[in-house]
Chain A
Amino acid sequence: MHKKVAVVGDKDSVLVFKAVGVDVFDPIEKDDIRRTVDQLARDNYGVIFITEQLAVQIPETITRYDNQMLPAIILIPSNQGTLNIGLDRIDSSVEKAVGSNIL
């Protein structure tokens, strides 16, 4: 299966991804972000990178894709630095699996 790769984030952070061949989307409004992610998920994208700053605004949409094999929605820091949500998400999946955080 050949899938496309997309990155969603504010323009200042993610425009550089364009040079390496990733499709770039830069929605600003909360609704637009959600629509973009849902649209990408439908459009044969296998990996969607999204900056943490945008991901905080649409937590439900992100978690909805957790139990599906594709697409993989991966949080990345933006140029304002990391909010540590990415690591928190790993912790929360540990909690989900084990029942308590053992690491």
Chain B
Amino acid sequence: MARIKVNPTRMQMSILRGRLKTATRGHKLLKDKQDELMRRFIELIRENKRLRSQVEEELKDSFNDFLLASAMMSPEMLRQALAIPKQQVRVNVERKNIMSVNIPVMDFEYSKDVEQGDIYPYGYAQTSAELDDAIDKLQEVMSRLLELAAMEKAGQLMAGEIEKTRRRVNALEYRTIPDLQETIKYNRMKLDENERATITRLMKVKEIIAKET
């Protein structure tokens, strides 16, 4: 461990002690933060994995129907049928702070052009039933898809924050604190040594004076 190069004086000692105290306290706090973040992160990831497999499964269903629909209808018809959607999706994003990580909280909002009726933007005459199924299933999976989006983003952000915190904790634990401790120890020995030197010198001086008189 490297000693910090400072003059061995009382003033420096008190400064170093202060720094050590701050570093230890910071280390404890960061360690707590890391532990809590980790706990939440693991929980989140478990849920995330489960949700993702579920959503992927449901999406596959919808895609299969759509594939059938596009096989039965001509591409132009299909495009025309879907050209002007009846509803618009917006997400309302709020910020939520978990252990100093800003994670997004998302809410779906549908703005429908037509208040009543279904969501199909076409008449039934020229489209296949599979298309209706595909859209139905997709509509159903949308809210979960958005949940997944928010969750996955939170996971990514938390992973980044945990990594940062871990590095800080390690830097304090393995570098800053031992360095400070060693420097303080060295300085204390140096100061003690100086003190002893002064005492012996004074005794010597006293001896010489006593001899002369």
Contacts and interface: CB of A to CB of B under 8 A. Distances in A.
Given A97-B41, A102-B42, 17 more contacts: A3-B93, A5-B90, A15-B66, A16-B62, A16-B131, A19-B82, A19-B119, A20-B139, A46-B93, A69-B95, A69-B104, A70-B93, A72-B149, A79-B63, A90-B48, A94-B159, A98-B162
B38 A98 contact: yes
A42 B153 CA distance: 17
B30 interface: no
Nearest to B78: A15
A4 B60 contact: no
Interface of B: 38, 41-42, 45-46, 48-49, 52-53, 55-56, 59-60, 62-64, 66-67, 70, 78-79, 82-83, 85-95, 102-104, 106, 109-111, 119-121, 131, 134-135, 138-139, 142, 145-146, 148-150, 152-153, 155-160, 162-163, 166
B76 to A, nearest CB: 12
Ranked nearest first, the 5 interchain pairs of A and B with the lowest CB-CB distance are: A72-B153, A93-B159, A97-B162, A21-B89, A79-B63
B149 A21 contact: no
Contact of B148 (A67, A74, A93, A99): A74
Interface stretch (A27-35, A53-61, A80-88): A80-88
The prevalent SS among residues of A at the interface is: mixed
A87 B52 contact: yes
Contact of B87 (A21, A47, A87): A21
Interface of A: 1-5, 12-13, 15-22, 46-47, 49, 66-67, 69-70, 72, 74, 76-79, 81-82, 86-87, 89-90, 93-94, 96-99, 102-103
A5 B62 CA distance: 19
